[in-house]
Structure 1
């Protein structure tokens, strides 16, 4: 049994070594699943073990990998709520993600024993990509561990993402692992059973040669094409001067506490350090303007007046900033609206991005990809019973409203900006929908203080590079207490700040109005595999039902 555990742990270690923010190792993903696949096949063929712990062996790989890669989730949640609540919410990314990955492999092995290897392999791809799509779409959304994200530190290898998005990377990784595993199965001289049946030596050699050629072409051709695109890609010259501010104000007040006026003063002081006459954008981080302000009264707020006065010296500039806002309704207008019984009104609070310029015109964007449990109660119709528990432990339990569709912020001159707030920047389709509406660059505003000095903050930065490649848009990233940066259209980090340091960056970026194939069609690649995944799930469960019936269970 130990040898199977060691193989499972080998896959977990390889997956972790290949994962951001570790640089130059992402190609390990193309064979990282192979030890696990070997372990599962050998385990099923091991006559000395009566009950095959397929689920447990696969689960070990994925639990260890998830824990090693996103251990920072507990650290970040523990920063905003007591330990018990943080432990409960940590189960979402740790346990649930690992469970869904394990189910994909468990069902795959059920199907493998009842059908041809090719069909089983296609089912694995469908099951895995269906899990990834589910984990970016339902109320417990957390697409952090989508396989295609693993290439975030090597944009030279993923220029094809402008056509496929991250699901192209997931498909590349899965097929590579399957081909290597099949070659191993055939090459292993019959020591272990070949799942396609008995093959003579000559036939096995020809199959190995064919699969080896397919593997070489599958890895080599996309790599070469991507490297060529990377080295020949040229941006159209269309400059815009942008200033990104990182105030580095402790969001939890552990070291020092700022009033709303003092925080705004820090933002303005830093902005002036790099500002010039032709500056068109100042990008400030998430919740830079603190103190909840009713949106209809925002023009009369002190935050707006002070910011507007600052812009008197920069007549062509727009401030894109995070803010805390709320809206009041006489009747309930949104699912997230809450009742103020004393005043008999409904209200929503928002994590907002707002565009402020030299005019009384205001534009708001409300963060919509909300963190489950912390910013939004998942499955509220069923889990509202847990609201008192999370409130007792300090959680937000669905405290924020959002908007159904993405939208951009526009300047008076017509420049469109994607206002991605924090967690939203890991959704390729969401950002692409905004770009498709006319955005010419991407502004990511975030507060990364809750990550602590862990790999989480670095992964969050690296994932922004994927959005740059997918849409061929510059990314201007403002992160309070995090890492602020400029990323060009090839996915290169052109400038970045240090962690936990007040800083300001200035960059002439090139605006782009051309739409990539991915921008136009978003996650088109995954849809055929959703059908395959559904059919595989039904078939796998049917096989399990028959097995239980035969055994009298």
Structure 2
């Protein structure tokens, strides 16, 4: 343990140093797992007992260091709901991710006991990809630490994400790490020079071919000219003062004035941040056109014939009974129930108003994980004033259309880290991506920088411009090859405009989605079944 724990800690530190938003250190991802693999090799080859437990403990510590240092800002984002709720929710990214990562390594150890090392290493990659896919799919999802996201600050290296998505990056990192590990062990185990040279040639090819291809695509990529003028407003309203301290009408006026400062007669989209129309003004979707703030926004748009406003709001629907699993007793009394939504509105220069409800809700803070199984807790949260599990989700990706037929993918905050989900909107007709977020909850931490960096990967995967409007974070425009062409500073009240190019072509990744993690998960499942079968066979042999 004494020599293996430092190796695991070294892996955790290397991965943290390599992680966005730190520039110029991305290459460390290619060796970050090597010390941990060596630690496991030491455990396998020593004569001490409880090897499986030691493998799990050592890897968990290393991954806890990597995760907690990389997403230390999560607590800031949740503390507004109160420490009682924020502390346990914070443990999801700090501890649950490392728990799943360590489990993948434990499964690798178990496979090493019954299979050759090369088979077990292939199994490790599948177990890891399976964990990543699980962690973006179940109710406790947090795919922020998906390995492929690590290239967000070096997006020039992964232009081929238009074919693979971020899971191609995960696969690339693992193959290089495994080859580096095998080169080291070949030296330690005195393997033949020919074997070492083959490994060295393999690692050179695996690094340089994808990198060279990507750089070639990056420098030769030319967008088809199809311009649309977009305005982004960043109101810089302190999220802790947003609800109650600053009147909603004043907040709306700030956004209107900022938008007017840079708008042109041909501006087609104004993009305002998440909950730009704040929580004290819940909008009844059945009467949305009668809302005074909606009318004020429509009045603003009259000066722009082709203008559309994509804005965040909080909306609700009323029912005479508990019509949906997410409905709660109406806070306005009576026998009615209500669903509340974090919503993106597309308000046209006319009467039509389209809605999209946030689908990927923050576990605990915005949704009750495993709602059916934990439904007995709903009255507790209702008693707490809906501190958690408060929003109802959209069932699937959606496209909002302008009156001229331009399709925009509305992405609300946390949703921007789901490449496959965004790809579904693009497949349905979105020609650019609008991310509306707050980001001020994270304060001046790396969270806001990571959020913008990750958006670059969505641009590459879909070959769509990304327009991000943050309340107090960083707003910006990202072109189709992932370059941030214009951005605001943090904690600045401002607005920016840009002529973007709309795109209707579909990338391979958009057409086929997350095929890599799906295949990896199937192989991981086969590996687990194989281990269970071997364990059962061993028991039968012992009892025979």
Given the two structures, how large is their TM-score scaled by the length of structure 1? 0.93
Task: Kindly indicate whether the alpha-carbon contact (under 8 Å) linking 1:387 and 1:397 is maintained by their aligned counterparts in 2.
Answer: no
- What displacement does 1:540 show? 3.5
How do 1:69-218 residues align onto structure 2 when only pairs under 5 Å count? Answer: 69-78=70-79, 80-190=80-190, 201=191, 204-218=192-206
Task: Kindly indicate whether the alpha-carbon contact (under 8 Å) linking 1:84 and 1:393 is maintained by their aligned counterparts in 2.
Answer: no
Task: Kindly indicate whether the alpha-carbon contact (under 8 Å) linking 2:159 and 2:217 is maintained by their aligned counterparts in 1.
Answer: yes
Task: Kindly indicate whether the alpha-carbon contact (under 8 Å) linking 1:390 and 1:396 is maintained by their aligned counterparts in 2.
Answer: yes
The C-alpha deviation readout for 1:172-230, integer Å capped at 9, x for no partner, is: 0111111111122222144xxxxxxxxxx5xx322222222111111110000000000
CA distance in 2, matches of 1:210, 1:406: 46
CA distance in 1, matches of 2:244, 2:334: 36
Match of 1:252, SS state, is helix
Segments of 5+ residues of structure 2 without an aligned counterpart are none
Match of 1:473, SS state, is coil
Segments of 5+ residues of structure 1 without an aligned counterpart are 191-200
- Map of 1:65 onto structure 2: 66
Match of 2:14, SS state, is helix
Match of 2:282, SS state, is strand
- Map of 1:229 onto structure 2: 217
Task: Kindly indicate whether the alpha-carbon contact (under 8 Å) linking 2:234 and 2:470 is maintained by their aligned counterparts in 1.
Answer: yes
Match of 1:520, SS state, is helix
- What displacement does 1:369 show? 0.5
CA distance in 2, matches of 1:388, 1:309: 41
- What displacement does 1:112 show? 1.1
- What displacement does 1:82 show? 2.2
- What displacement does 1:43 show? 1.9
- What displacement does 1:544 show? 6.0
Change (3 A) 1:551 1:451: farther
CA distance in 2, matches of 1:255, 1:528: 45
CA distance in 2, matches of 1:233, 1:350: 39
- Map of 1:397 onto structure 2: 388
Does residue 512 of structure 2 align to residue 521 of structure 1? yes
CA distance in 2, matches of 1:370, 1:343: 28
CA distance in 2, matches of 1:550, 1:458: 56
Change (3 A) 1:304 1:393: closer
Given the two structures, how large is their TM-score scaled by the length of structure 2? 0.95
CA distance in 2, matches of 1:2, 1:393: 47
Task: Kindly indicate whether the alpha-carbon contact (under 8 Å) linking 2:328 and 2:382 is maintained by their aligned counterparts in 1.
Answer: no
- What displacement does 1:537 show? 2.1
- What displacement does 1:543 show? 5.2
CA distance in 2, matches of 1:118, 1:314: 63
CA distance in 2, matches of 1:251, 1:392: 24
CA distance in 1, matches of 2:244, 2:357: 28
- What displacement does 1:319 show? 0.6
CA distance in 2, matches of 1:546, 1:482: 56
The C-alpha deviation readout for 1:428-451, integer Å capped at 9, x for no partner, is: 011100011111100000011111
CA distance in 2, matches of 1:331, 1:50: 59
Task: Kindly indicate whether the alpha-carbon contact (under 8 Å) linking 1:85 and 1:395 is maintained by their aligned counterparts in 2.
Answer: no
Match of 2:173, SS state, is helix
Change (3 A) 1:23 1:389: farther
Q: Which of 414, 426, 446 does residue 405 from structure 2 map onto?
A: 414
Task: Kindly indicate whether the alpha-carbon contact (under 8 Å) linking 2:133 and 2:518 is maintained by their aligned counterparts in 1.
Answer: no
Change (3 A) 1:395 1:41: farther
- What displacement does 1:388 show? 5.5
Q: How many residues align?
A: 538
How do 1:137-536 residues align onto structure 2 when only pairs under 5 Å count? Answer: 137-190=137-190, 201=191, 204-253=192-241, 257-290=245-278, 291-340=281-330, 343-387=334-378, 396-536=387-527
Task: Kindly indicate whether the alpha-carbon contact (under 8 Å) linking 2:230 and 2:500 is maintained by their aligned counterparts in 1.
Answer: yes
- What displacement does 1:542 show? 5.0
* Range that drifts further, 450-459 or 418-427: 450-459
* Range that drifts further, 511-520 or 22-31: 22-31
CA distance in 2, matches of 1:310, 1:210: 66
- What displacement does 1:17 show? 0.7
- What displacement does 1:93 show? 1.2
The C-alpha deviation readout for 1:143-173, integer Å capped at 9, x for no partner, is: 0010000001111101000000001000001
Task: Kindly indicate whether the alpha-carbon contact (under 8 Å) linking 1:108 and 1:540 is maintained by their aligned counterparts in 2.
Answer: no
